[in-house]
Chain A
Amino acid sequence: MTISRSLMRRPGRVATVGATLGMLLITGACGKKGGSNADSVAAAAPPPAAAADTSARAITVADVAVGKHIGADKKVTDESGDFAPKDSVYASVHTTGSGTATVAARWTFQDGQVVDERSQSISPTGDAYTEFHIAKPSGWPKGKYTLHVMLNGTEATTKDFTVK
């Protein structure tokens, strides 16, 4: 094995290469003796930080999209802030984290009236999409509306849209 001149001029890299070679030699020696202590120790004791991350990441609202249609994956397919009176309005709440949480949607009109309010309890194990939708067969009054998204009773975010 040779070490190039460029590496020779960089003490830091040489030290790294040296350390790597040393590790390889040690690993090889262990393998030749038939022992696999290093491997089994590594498998049995993963880094504590990584274990903590996967077991208890709190659920949070990553983003909210509002539009006229939604896909089977519960994602809005055509995000929009403008609606016609006969449109259905869909909201997709993207959450991350795992555990149990209650996601709620409160839709309000410009005068403060609550148009609709409902909640759903979820138990995700990672990214999840929860959709809420509203429709009004007789047509929405024109004006400004706000969607308030709540997570466990606390407002996480709002989204404004207009019916024209």
Chain B
Amino acid sequence: MAGTDDKSNTGKADFSDVQGGSSSTAPSTGAKTVTVKPGDSLSKIAQRELGDANKWHAIFEANKDTIKNPDLIHPGDVLTIPNA
């Protein structure tokens, strides 16, 4: 799976390996989103958010309106993360 437009060679700090998460005491409506970072790929996001890189297709299916090519996502894209 191809990565994003990686700009890690620009001399800036590299945050591509940052791991994150969220949860709430309030009932969730199920809609979680993440914003694509430089160096991200769908499989990388699936590993980070769903714990399994092979679930990239679930993210792709949930974002077909915005992702036309699963091998090409862009930093700043906001992706809906389906329930694991």
Q: Are A123 and B15 in contact (CB under 8 A)?
A: no
Give 1 or 0 for each of A94-121: 1 = CB within 8 Å of chain B CB: 0100001011111101010111111111
Q: Which residues of B contact A131 (CB under 8 A)?
A: 22-24
Pick from A113, A119, A123, A136: contact of B32, CB under 8 Å: A119
Q: How many residues from B make CB contacts under 8 Å with A?
A: 23
The answer to whether B33 has its CB under 8 Å from any CB of chain A is: yes
Count the A-B residue pairs with Cβ separation under 8 angstroms: how many?
Answer: 101
Q: Are A121 and B30 in contact (CB under 8 A)?
A: yes
Closest 5 CB pairs of A and B: A124-B26, A128-B26, A117-B35, A130-B24, A122-B26
Main secondary structure of the interface of B (DSSP, over half): strand
Main secondary structure of the interface of A (DSSP, over half): strand
Q: Are A130 and B35 in contact (CB under 8 A)?
A: no
Q: Are B31 and A118 in contact (CB under 8 A)?
A: no
Pick from A111, A125, A129: contact of B24, CB under 8 Å: A129
